[in-house]
Amino acid sequence: MSTPEPFGARLRHAMDTRGPLCVGIDPHASLLGAWGLGDDVQGLETFTRTVVEALAEQVAVFKPQSAFFERFGSRGVAVLERAVADLRAAGGLVVMDAKRGDIGSTMAAYAETYLRKDAPLFSDALTVSPYLGYGSLAPAVELARENGAGLFVLALTSNPEGAEVQRAVREDGRSVGATMLAHLAAENASAAPMGSCGAVVGATLGDLSTFDLDINGPLLAPGIGAQGATPADLPRVFGAAVRDVVPNVSRGVLRAGPDAGALRGAAARFADEVRAAVAAA
């Protein structure tokens, strides 16, 4: 059996060839309404198919937000399964935003759900929460590695409430968020062109120069668009690590729909702005 190409290498290639953007697929009820769709499974299906058909061949990375599919039960999850398969078939990388985290034995089942090669929801990467202890993520780290998939571990999230946990200072003087970044740097040591264990670090957080963001892995950066950050903020927030940033925009792109050309235009404009900001850094 051949060894699968690691997620970190596939991600670097996708961003080099398709551009530096992750588009989030977040079918909010308000967006379904704005697109003239019902807040029901049919509306969810049409919304998702429109985004996939418009962007699957243009954008490097997609981040479906599982919650917006799960709220419709098994029929919503079926829409998600189909979207994942279609996006991947068109060459897009899928980061499943499900933020899973539990004790190790249960984490192993979450890992099976998203990171086992033949699972219906197999994704190129999964967002995970380390707040039951970084070590509890071990089954996911292991299965991701085995199948050429990646993880994005919540380190410094884009929401203001995250600080009370992530900036809390441990007995060794290091913050919890910095500790997660250090775990990821160890995980990715010696990987080339970069490791497959990424961090979620919000683009909304201002200057992060007190954190060591050099984890030799990708930094998934939500917060651009609806949450107020802009591509121009990226160099100030991420410093030298800006080249490893995967900026996510969800509502900022999706609000341009349902017209496919307008969706493509919005994604292309964000990608151009990110490129310009990174080049100037």
Ligand X SMILES: O=c1ccn([C@@H]2O[C@H](COP(=O)(O)O)[C@@H](O)[C@H]2O)c(=O)[nH]1
Per-residue exposure over 119-158, b if at least 16 CB sit within 10 Å of its own CB, e if not? eebbbbbbbbbbeeebebbebbbebbbebbbbbbbbbbbb
Q: How far is the CB of 1 from ligand X (least distance, A)?
A: 34
Amino acid at position 177, single letter: G
Q: Which residue has tokens 């989030």?
A: 24
Tell me if residue 63 is catalytic. Answer: no
Q: How far is the CB of 129 from ligand X (least distance, A)?
A: 10
Q: Are 150 and 125 in contact (CB under 8 A)?
A: yes
User: In terms of CB distance, is 29 or 191 closer to ligand X?
Assistant: 29
User: In terms of CB distance, is 31 or 56 closer to ligand X?
Assistant: 31
User: In terms of CB distance, is 136 or 250 closer to ligand X?
Assistant: 250
Element (DSSP H or E) covering residue 219: strand 219-221
- Return the beta strands (E) in 157-218 as ranges: 197-201
Q: Which region holds residue 94: left if phi is over 0, alpha if psi is between -120 and 50, else beta?
A: beta
Residues lying near ligand X in the complex (CB under 6 A) are found at 24, 26, 65, 97, 157-159, 200, 202, 222-223, 225-227, 248-252
User: In terms of CB distance, is 116 or 255 closer to ligand X?
Assistant: 255
Q: Cα–Cα distance between 164 and 227 in angstroms, integer?
A: 19
Q: How far is the CB of 128 from ligand X (least distance, A)?
A: 11
Of 217, 224, 204, 248, nearest in space to 22 by CA:
248
Element (DSSP H or E) covering residue 273: helix 260-280
Q: Which residue has tokens 């509890």?
A: 136
Q: How far is the CB of 153 from ligand X (least distance, A)?
A: 11
User: In terms of CB distance, is 32 or 147 closer to ligand X?
Assistant: 32
Of the listed 82, 99, 116, 236, which one is catalytic? Answer: 99
Catalytic residue positions? 99
